[in-house]
C-alpha cells in the first residue's frame, strides 16, 4: 500500500472517530437551548412582575419600562427562534457526483485517480478553494464537492454553506441561511441586557439606600441586575468580535482556521468594503435590516470577489432558502 493510500485511510478513520466523539453532543443538543429559554422566562417574570408591577410606583415609568422591555424582548426572542429553527443551507444537487462518477470514485482507492475524478466533476462548478494539499475538497460523508466557504459540521453531520460555527446555545449551525438572524439576536439580546441592567441597578440602589422599603421583590431584582450585567459584558465582547468579522466578510471558521481558506485580514478575497459586506448579510433593502427576515445576497456557494468591477447587485442575487417563511 502506498503512503498516499495509507494517509487516505488514516483520514477516514480519524473522521469516523470524530463522528463518534460528537454523537453525545447531538443527543444532548437541546439542553442548552431549553436552559436559555428558561433563563429568558425567569428574567421576564422578574422584570415584569417583581419590578414593574410590584416595585415601580409611578404609572408613567411603569408603562415606559414595560413598552421598551417588551419591544426588545420580543425582537430578541423572534431572532433567537429564527436562528434556531432555520435549517442550514446545504450544497445544491449540482455539487454531487453523477452516478457514474460516484461508482468510479467508490471503486478506486488511489488518491491520484480520485483527484482526477473530482477535478473533472468540478471543472464547470464555481469552486476556487482547495484544501492545504491543493486538492479539490470533497466530503466523503455527504458525498458532495465542497463549494467555497462550505465546511462539514461534525455535530449536525452535514456540509453547510458559508459555515460560521456550530452554536451549542442554538443546537444549530450558523451559516449562510441564518447568519443575519444570529447577528440580530446578539444585538437585541445585548440591548435588552443593558436596558434591564440599568433599570434593575436603579431600583437595587433604592433598596440598598432604604429609599424603598424592604419587600420580597428586593432579592429577585438584585439577582436580575447581576445576571443582566454579566450577560451584557459577555454579549458586548461576543458581538464586537462578530461585528468585526461581518464588516470584513470573514466567517469565524475562516478566522480561526488558517488552513481552511486564504482569508486573512491582509489577503481576504471576499472583502468588498464595509458597506457591501454588510449588504451581503443584511440585503439591499435597509427597511428589512433590523428584522429577522431573510434578505441576504447571493446563493451561498459563489461569492463576488473584492477585485470585481461590477456592483454587488450584479454579482449576487436574492436567494431564499428552502421552506423560508417570515
Beta carbons within 8 Å of 240's beta carbon, 6+ residues apart: none
pLDDT in tens, 118-128: 999 999 999 99
pLDDT, residue 224, reads 97
In a domain, residue 251? The reply is yes
At 144, phi and psi to the nearest 5? Answer: -145, 145
**Half-sphere exposure of 270 toward its Cβ, with a 13 Å CA cutoff?**
29
Long-range contacts of range 280-287, CB-CB < 8 Å, 24 or more positions apart? 280/249, 280/312, 280/316, 281/179, 281/180, 281/183, 281/246, 282/180, 283/180, 283/318, 284/313
Give the mean pLDDT of 5-31: 56
Distance (Å, rounded) from C-alpha 151 to C-alpha 139? Answer: 9
In a domain, residue 111? The reply is no
Share of the chain above pLDDT 90, in %: 75
In a domain, residue 20? The reply is no
Residue 192: all three cell numbers together:
435588552
β-partners of residue 159 are 152
In a domain, residue 191? The reply is yes
* 315: pLDDT strictly greater than 70: no
User: Active-site residue among 52, 150, 159, 167?
Assistant: 167
pLDDT, residue 176, reads 97
pLDDT, residue 146, reads 96
Give the mean pLDDT of 182-199: 98
* Alpha helices (H) in 146-273, listed in sequence order: 179-208, 218-248, 252-256
Three-class secondary structure of residue 89 per DSSP: coil
43 noted as active-site residue: no
The CA-to-CA distance between both ends of the chain, in Å, stands at 55
Q: Given phi > 0 = left and psi -120 to 50 = alpha, else beta, which region is 145?
A: beta
pLDDT, residue 314, reads 43
Q: Any idea what the Cα angle at residue 215 is, between residues 54 and 218, rounded to 5°?
A: 85
CB 175 within 8 A of CB 161: yes
In a domain, residue 34? The reply is no
At 96, phi and psi to the nearest 5? Answer: -90, 150
Residue 256, burial from CB neighbour count under 10 angstroms (0-12, 13-18, 19+): exposed
pLDDT in tens, 244-302: 999 999 999 999 875 544 455 557 889 999 999 999 999 999 999 999 999 999 999 99
In a domain, residue 175? The reply is yes
Whole-structure pTM value? 0.85
Residue 191, domain extent: 58-90+164-326
CB 252 within 8 A of CB 91: no
Q: What is the total residue count of the chain?
A: 326
In a domain, residue 293? The reply is yes
pLDDT in tens, 35-86: 999 999 999 999 999 999 999 999 999 999 999 999 999 999 999 999 999 9
In a domain, residue 193? The reply is yes
Please state the domain count of the chain.
Answer: 1
Amino acid at each position: 500500500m502506498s503512503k498516499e493510500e495509507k494517509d487516505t485511510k488514516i483520514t477516514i478513520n480519524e473522521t469516523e472517530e470524530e463522528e463518534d466523539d460528537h454523537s453525545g453532543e447531538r443527543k444532548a443538543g437541546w439542553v442548552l437551548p431549553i436552559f436559555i429559554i428558561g433563563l429568558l422566562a425567569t428574567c421576564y417574570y422578574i422584570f415584569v412582575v417583581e419590578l414593574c408591577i410590584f416595585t415601580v410606583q409611578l404609572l408613567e415609568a411603569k408603562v415606559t419600562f414595560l413598552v421598551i422591555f417588551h419591544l426588545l424582548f420580543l425582537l430578541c426572542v423572534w431572532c433567537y427562534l429564527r436562528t434556531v429553527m432555520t435549517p442550514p443551507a446545504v450544497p445544491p444537487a449540482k455539487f454531487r457526483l453523477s452516478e457514474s462518477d460516484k461508482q468510479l470514485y467508490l471503486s478506486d482507492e488511489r488518491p491520484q485517480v480520485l483527484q482526477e475524478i473530482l477535478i473533472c466533476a468540478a471543472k464547470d462548478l464555481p469552486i476556487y478553494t482547495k484544501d492545504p494539499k491543493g486538492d479539490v475538497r470533497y466530503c466523503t460523508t455527504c458525498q458532495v464537492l465542497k463549494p467555497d466557504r462550505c465546511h462539514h459540521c461534525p455535530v449536525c453531520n452535514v456540509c453547510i454553506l458559508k459555515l460560521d460555527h456550530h452554536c451549542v446555545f442554538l443546537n444549530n449551525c450558523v451559516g449562510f441561511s441564518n447568519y443575519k438572524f444570529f447577528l440580530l439576536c446578539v444585538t437585541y439580546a445585548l440591548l435588552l441586557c443593558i436596558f434591564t441592567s440599568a433599570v434593575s441597578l436603579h431600583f437595587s440602589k433604592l433598596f440598598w439606600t432604604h429609599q424603598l422599603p424592604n419587600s420580597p421583590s428586593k432579592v429577585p431584582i438584585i439577582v436580575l441586575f447581576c445576571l443582566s450585567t454579566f450577560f451584557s459584558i459577555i454579549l458586548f465582547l461576543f458581538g464586537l468580535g462578530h461585528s468585526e468579522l461581518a464588516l470584513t466578510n470573514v466567517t469565524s471558521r475562516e478566522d480561526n482556521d488558517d488552513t481552511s481558506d486564504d482569508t486573512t485580514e491582509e489577503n481576504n478575497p471576499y472583502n468588498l468594503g464595509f458597506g457591501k459586506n454588510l449588504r451581503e448579510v443584511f440585503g439591499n433593502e435597509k427597511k428589512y435590516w433590523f428584522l429577522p427576515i431573510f434578505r441576504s445576497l447571493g446563493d451561498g456557494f459563489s461569492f463576488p470577489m473584492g477585485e470585481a468591477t461590477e456592483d454587488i447587485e450584479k454579482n449576487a442575487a436574492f436567494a431564499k432558502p428552502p421552506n423560508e417563511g417570515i
